[in-house]
Amino acid sequence: MTVRAVPTDGSPAPDAPQDGPDPRRVAAASSVGAVIEWYDFFLYGTAAGLVFDRLYFNGLDGPAAQFAAFGTFAVGFVARPVGGLIFGHFGDRLGRKKMLIWTLLIMGLGTTAVGLLPTYDQIGVWAPILLVVLRIAQGIGIGGEYGGAVLLAVEFAPTEKRGFFGSFAHIGVPGGLFLASGAFTVASQLPDEQFLAWGWRVCFLLSIVLLAVGAWIRLSIAETPSFQQVQEKKHVSATPVLDVIRSQPRHLLLGMGTRFIEGFTFNLFSVFFLAHAVNVVGVDRSTVLGAVMAGAALGVVLVLVSGALSDRFGRRPVFAVGAVTGLLFAVPATQLVAGGTTLGIFAVMVGGLGVVYGVVYGPLAAFWSELFDTRYRYSALSFLYQMSGIVASGLTPLIAVWLVQRADGGLGLVAAYAVGVAVLSLVCARLLPETRGRDLAVDDVAPGLPVTPATGR
């Protein structure tokens, strides 16, 4: 990858867009669309912890029903690499904008369908089967969403503010969680019978309204200047995912390692700790959801702050601060969850979803984007994020439940797992180069990498 210095005389960076949409408007559009899609995805995670074991797996005993519900949650993460490969391929071949419209449609319609799905008592075994099918659709949609949303913000941003503008795409995760938890908090005010009968469904049916809003916003944004340069120079990759594996395998594998603490932290706190606090410790459902909302709200702010700080101090140092904080917070977090006090639950969610997650996640949009060449960047980000997400994100609740069973109900092994994850991600970040200031302009095509003219088909 070509490295070019960032000008120090106040002139624009070489890859900063001189004309076209305001980067702030593009970043806002990226974040709004991402928030909507992640709202859809996280609704399922919240429902898996609070509803699905009682409505779709009630033919099983208690722990087995929860394990099955978390299993369908994990299915979405297994499906995400499929969406990442499909939309990453065509995003590098045909453009970022077109793929983002399709991913929004798939997510919105799939989530709405979950809200209409009959229960196990109504249609028997077809209920969990159809639930899995819709979860797969969600996984495919969000799998293609991530890379496009990040590149929409990053590839429009000026070099010296790429960390900040790129982080707008990353507020989709805590922002979507905030909305999903908020929707379930409101629905949880209903009596339990009404909540299970129809209250939770309203949260899913709202997705059709958000779909219309998101589609209108994304249709108003132009294609990114970096991809336009690829088209103009006829450097479109014929097989982008194979090209990135062949050309930059080390960056890809180490990038997946830095992703581990991000995905693990988010799903440990927002899914496993939520379910454990409600179903095992006996904390009131609305209390835990309120704590999740507080953590997610702080996460939105700190994602932007840490993204901006990475423009000044570098991607790796800011990421390391978040990862070390996660390592130090692992044992106290499990102890506070086990204690079950309201203050303790709020401290856990604010510390995990707000501080640790916010600081770790903020710089990664720019960090990962700057590691890879434009002609296969969408595929690289999709592969990195979705393949690592199977273990780092999707299997986290299942692994945590298994570790609790091995520890006879204690959370000590979960804390040890969290420490190991933090160490792994810190080592991977240390082995990657600092990328702040790198030019995203089209590089010369590496020898042996096939390219084909962009035909628009």
Residue 423 clears pLDDT 60, i.e. is over it: yes
Beta-bridge partners for 392: none
317 pLDDT band, cuts 50/70/90, is very high
Q: Which residue has the tokens 């856990």?
A: 348
User: Which pLDDT value is given to residue 389?
Assistant: 84
Residue 12 clears pLDDT 50, i.e. is over it: no
User: What is the rounded CA–CA span in Å between residue 95 and residue 130?
Assistant: 32
In a domain, 443, yes or no: no
Residue 62 clears pLDDT 80, i.e. is over it: no
In a domain, 319, yes or no: yes
In a domain, 145, yes or no: yes
Comparing 417 with 241, which gets the higher pLDDT? 417
User: Which pLDDT value is given to residue 81?
Assistant: 87
64 pLDDT band, cuts 50/70/90, is confident
Continuous segment of H or E residues that includes residue 49: helix 23-50
CA distances from 100 to 46, 168, 212, 375 (A): 25, 16, 13, 17
pTM, two decimals, is 0.80
In a domain, 442, yes or no: no
Q: Where are the alpha helices (DSSP H) in 51-61?
A: 52-55
The number of domains in the chain is: 1
User: Which pLDDT value is given to residue 113?
Assistant: 92
User: Which pLDDT value is given to residue 454?
Assistant: 40
In a domain, 4, yes or no: no
User: What is the rounded CA–CA span in Å between residue 448 and residue 95?
Assistant: 23
User: What is the rounded CA–CA span in Å between residue 41 and residue 267?
Assistant: 12
3 pLDDT band, cuts 50/70/90, is very low
User: What is the rounded CA–CA span in Å between residue 288 and residue 352?
Assistant: 13
Q: Please, what is the average pLDDT of the chain?
A: 84
- Percent of the chain at pLDDT > 70 equals 90
51 pLDDT band, cuts 50/70/90, is confident
Q: What is the pLDDT of residues 259-316, one digit of tens each?
A: 999 999 999 998 899 989 998 999 988 899 899 999 999 999 999 999 999 999 999 9
In a domain, 1, yes or no: no
CA distances from 309 to 87, 171, 349, 433 (A): 31, 15, 23, 17
**Per the structure block, which two tokens stand in for 150?**
């990040």
In a domain, 8, yes or no: no
Q: What is the DSSP letter of 274?
A: H
23 pLDDT band, cuts 50/70/90, is confident
Q: What is the pLDDT of residues 322-346, one digit of tens each?
A: 999 999 999 999 999 999 999 999 9
Q: Are 250 and 380 in contact (CB under 8 A)?
A: no
In a domain, 103, yes or no: yes
| Domain with 426 in it | 23-431
- Burial of residue 22, with CB atoms counted within 10 A of its CB: 0-12 exposed, 13-18 middle, 19 or more buried: exposed
User: Which pLDDT value is given to residue 1?
Assistant: 42
CATH number where 354 lies: 1.20.1250.20
Out of 247-261, 267-281, 431-445, pick the least confident: 431-445
Comparing 229 with 340, which gets the higher pLDDT? 340
User: Which pLDDT value is given to residue 443?
Assistant: 53
User: Which pLDDT value is given to residue 21?
Assistant: 64
434 pLDDT band, cuts 50/70/90, is very high
Q: Are 138 and 74 in contact (CB under 8 A)?
A: no
Residue 73 clears pLDDT 90, i.e. is over it: no
User: What is the rounded CA–CA span in Å between residue 423 and residue 406?
Assistant: 23
User: Which pLDDT value is given to residue 22?
Assistant: 72
User: Which pLDDT value is given to residue 237?
Assistant: 78
Out of 204-208, 315-319, 368-372, 424-428, pick the least confident: 204-208
The residue type found at 236 is: V
Q: What is the pLDDT of residues 107-153, one digit of tens each?
A: 888 889 999 999 888 998 898 889 888 888 888 888 888 888 888 88
